[in-house]
Amino acid sequence: MPNDNITLTAADRSVSLPLVHGSLGPSCIDIAALYRDTGHFTYDPGYAATASCKSAITYIDGDKGVLLYRGYPIEQLAEQSRFLEVAYLLLEGELPTVAQMTKFEDAVTHHTMMHESLKNFLHGFHYDAHPMAMLCASIASLSAFYHDTLDINDPAQRKLAAIRLIAKMPTIAAAAYRYSIGWPIRYPRNNLEYVTRFLHMMFEVPSEPLNLNPVAARALDLLFILHADHEQNASTSTVRLVGSTGANPYASVAAGIAALWGPAHGGANEAVLKMLAQIGDPKHVDQAVARAKDKESGFRLMGFGHRVYKNFDPRARIIRAMCHQVLAELGVNDPLLEVALKLEEAALKDEYFIERKLYPNVDFYSGIIYKALRIPTEMFTVMFAIARTAGWIAHWIEQHETPDARIGRPRQVYTGALKRDYVALDKR
């Protein structure tokens, strides 16, 4: 790698700062010495131009619409791989051999049970609690169940936590859903593979066998692959920030779930479906586009725009094609698809969206597929969380394998009152 420097001049002082080069993507200016040498901080709200870490997991080229997991293009993984193999790839850095995959799948399968006491924990929620609230709290509570294996400095314990999280997330997610509708919790069936097992835990009733269409399992597996990682997005950065304090993996991932929940991030898939239902008819689309352009309205087109993708979101392209196929194969005729297509068409030719490079993102079509799979709207972000767990924990492990890692501690531009003297209460 070249080891060149860049010179910045701040007021009367110049400072020579090293450039940091990755294997792909723009180089970064290492500003660690900037404050020491010039007395200035950098200001980058939303971290739009700041690399917070070095990572070898996922690469995005937002201008070209490229997404690579460990170097492999998302299109190839979507076409040829499956979610659990992608989870292994994210964690281990390489595609598994048959023996490695069998071992990994076996380990995940044998950690799918949740502690019986967790059921009581779930029962403490009101029946109409949002499943993201239940998931977030339940995952945080795992640190209480596994407090004997929380040594974050032990690679074996870190790996065990990764397996547990990937394995238990679907079990807890399905249990939260069933609790909310008053159905008995189904235990994971170890003779099924990951995604099919999850669908059984969601939909199987004790009174009759579940006839699951394999198209549904394949579609969900594909959605999980597309959502598995996305470099330093808000929830992953949250996991890393919490992890940087030395917090345990369950607490770190619970924080990631909380960050994912927001409508600007993973909560967008739920918001998209609600928005499409509100629009209701293709003939109301122009009105919705006009509202989205009006800053006073406070309304944005959910599922549109992305911090990094300024051309197209490659995941959205795959999901769009898949959406038509899945609906056709499942025999679902959803009028919301027509609304979505019209909305996409109208926005893509509108000057406001063209100028700002706003394209449909991964969440624009995923909700329509989830709906076709009978997954209720409030579970959409939970689906995202199940998939993103693979990425979160891969980043958490990478962070702990990075030598000289430091606690995350940004600075600020202080805009408050100047120093002043306290005035006693009776004198104010």
Q: Which residues are catalytically annotated? A: 306, 363
- Cβ(359)–Cβ(313) below 8 Å: yes
Is 266 a binder of ligand CMC (CB under 6 A)? yes
Asked whether the beta carbons of 311 and 370 are under 8 A apart, the reply is no
Helices (H), 204-246: 214-227, 234-244
Asked if 324 is part of the footprint of ligand CMC (rule: CB under 6 A), the reply reads no
Residues 6+ apart with CB under 8 A from 155: 401
* Interaction between residue 248 and ligand CMC (CB under 6 A): no
Interface with ligand CMC, residue 301, by CB under 6 A: yes
Least distance to ligand CMC from the beta carbon of 304, Å?
A: 4
The sign of the dihedral angle between the CA atoms of 186, 188, 192, 197 is positive
Closest among 172, 109, 189 to 135, alpha carbons compared = 172
Which one of 24-32, 138-146, 264-272, 369-377 is the stretch in contact with ligand CMC (CB under 6 A)? 264-272
Binding part of the chain for ligand CMC, among 176-184, 206-214, 245-253, 300-308 by CB under 6 A, reads 300-308
- CB atoms inside a 10 Å sphere around CB 33: 12
Q: Are the C-beta atoms of 173 and 135 separated by less than 8 Å?
A: yes
| DSSP label of 141 | H
Q: Is 349 in the site for ligand CMC (CB under 6 A)?
A: no
Return d(Cα 140, Cα 251) in angstroms, integer.
5
The least distance separating ligand CMC from the CB of residue 186, rounded to whole angstroms, comes to 29
143, 233, 366, 399: which one binds ligand CMC (CB under 6 A)? 233
Q: Structure tokens of 210?
A: 């579940």
The answer to whether 358 contacts ligand CMC (rule: CB under 6 A) is yes
Residue 58 engages ligand CMC in binding (rule: CB under 6 A) = no
> According to DSSP H, which parts of 114-213 are helical?
116-123, 131-145, 155-181, 194-203
The interface region with ligand CMC, picked from 63-71, 145-153, 278-286, 294-302 by CB under 6 A, is 294-302
Q: Nearer to ligand CMC by C-beta: 307 or 400?
A: 307
Candidate residues 65, 131, 188, 303; the one interacting with ligand CMC per rule CB under 6 A: 303
d(CA 254, CA 168) in angstroms, rounded, equals 13
Q: How many CA atoms lie within 13 A of 148 on its CB side?
A: 1
265 scored as a contact of ligand CMC (CB under 6 A)? yes
The residue number with the shortest CB distance to ligand CMC is: 305
Judge whether 288 and 301 are in contact, CB under 8 Å: yes
Q: Which of 113, 108, 111, 78 is nearest to 193 (CA)?
A: 108
318 is a contact residue toward ligand CMC (CB under 6 A): no
DSSP 3-state assignment of 358? coil
Answer for which of 236, 361, 366, 389 binds ligand CMC (CB under 6 A) is 361
Q: Does 239 bind ligand CMC (CB under 6 A)?
A: no
CB of 253 to ligand CMC, least distance (A): 16
The answer to whether residue 340 forms part of the interface with ligand CMC (CB under 6 A) is: no
Give the residue with the Cβ less far from ligand CMC, 174 or 319.
319
Judged by CB under 6 A, the number of residues near ligand CMC is 20
Per CB under 6 A, residues contacting ligand CMC are: 46, 233, 264-266, 268, 292, 300-307, 356, 358, 361-363
